[in-house]
Amino acid sequence: MLLQIQTRQFGAACPRVKLAPASETKRSGSVWLRRKNGGPKCSVAAASTAQLEVKSESKTKPFPAEVSRTLMELAKVGTLCTLTEEGLPLGTGVRFAVEPEHGTPLFCFNSSDNTNIPSSLHVQFEQFGLRTPQCTVQGTLTKPQDPKRFVSVWRKRFGEEVDQDSIYIIAVDRVLQLEDIQEDGVWVTSSDYSNAQPDPLRDSAHNLVTEINTNNMEDITRFCNVYVDLDFLVSEAKMIWVDRLGFDMRLSSPHRGMFEVRIPFPREVTDEKGAKSTFNCMSQLAWEVERNFQHPHFPKVKELKPVRSSLL
């Protein structure tokens, strides 16, 4: 079933941190990004000394529990599966909202028979036609103990007033998280899922990736050739997604095929402005390393993931 996934649309990008296409002329030697009112500066020196450390997975990419919470926040439609009286699985498309504290999915049903039923909710989110991460929440479909609180969550999500008697939730037992279609999944416990926080860039990631792929193609290709340990040159690259810890790229080589690679940020970011500033600093450093103005004082990413898809 094709899920209709929607993300929040943002307006113009922050005017103080501009994502500009790469130039073939030499960039300014000291500071090229500056915040107003004498705030922090992003200098070439600062960028060159930032260590792009390839640390444990928790430091370079979000845990599966966090990815699942993020997918649930981004999606509004999923497939709810229950068992019929004959014991056969039945899946139907539903709208759902998510209680923000623990990530509990909630629904609005007219029927009063949907209580204490073993159920699952499958959600997926397409990332620019290149990857479709997904998660399946397993648990029990039941009535919440505090329906008034969930009514306000539904109102905020869909702008609709609903009767509290029509609210149902899935009491989460566990979650299966998959990075893409036809890949192996990872089981997430209910406690890990409940305690995780959705990614802070989730609402701006789509627009940010679109802007970078549109205006900074030279930069993202250069990122692969500079920050990744390759024995071949990248002919084309595209950013797939960005989060607080870094970004995922798909790259291609005419003779080696298609790969995905994870490039971490030098440090965690917490908002869109921080992500843009960090991207620009990394872009400046990559430009200087490519032209031998700077020595690459950072360990390169070594893990490449081959992909079967030919899409880029």
What average pLDDT does this structure show over 116-139? Answer: 95
| Alpha helix positions (H), the chain | 44-49, 57-60, 64-74, 147-158, 190-195, 205-215, 217-227, 272-290
For residue 30, pLDDT over 60 is answered with: no
- Mean pLDDT of all residues belonging to the chain: 82
Position 307 confidence tier, pLDDT thresholds 50, 70, 90: confident
Question: Using CB atoms within 10 A of its CB, is residue 9 exposed (0-12), middle (13-18) or buried (19+)?
Answer: exposed
What average pLDDT does this structure show over 201-219? Answer: 96
For residue 48, pLDDT over 70 is answered with: no
What is the pLDDT at residue 78?
98
What is the pLDDT at residue 294?
86
- Which amino acid appears at position 135 of this protein? C
Position 31 confidence tier, pLDDT thresholds 50, 70, 90: very low
- Which amino acid appears at position 54 of this protein? V
Domains and CATH numbers, the chain: 64-198 (2.30.110.10), 202-306 (3.20.180.10)
What is the pLDDT at residue 115?
78
The whole-angstrom separation of Cα 39 and Cα 42 is 10
φ, ψ for residue 41 (rounded to 5)?
A: -110, 150
For residue 91, pLDDT over 80 is answered with: yes
Q: Which residues pair with 263 in a beta bridge?
A: 247
Measured over the CA atoms of residue 77, residue 81, residue 82 and residue 86, the dihedral's sign is positive
What is the pLDDT at residue 59?
80
Residue 224: closest CA among 240, 213, 235? 235
pLDDT tens digit string along 51-88? 333 333 458 999 999 999 999 999 999 999 999 889 89
Is residue 223 within 8 Å of residue 93, measured between CB atoms? no
Q: Which residue shows structure tokens 């792929």?
A: 213
The whole-angstrom separation of Cα 185 and Cα 137 is 12
What average pLDDT does this structure show over 193-219? Answer: 96
- How far from 169 is each of 31, 36, 113, 141, CA to CA, in Å? 52, 47, 13, 6
Q: Compute the half-sphere exposure of residue 40: CA atoms within 13 Å on the CB side of its CA.
A: 7
The whole-angstrom separation of Cα 122 and Cα 136 is 4
What average pLDDT does this structure show over 244-251? Answer: 96
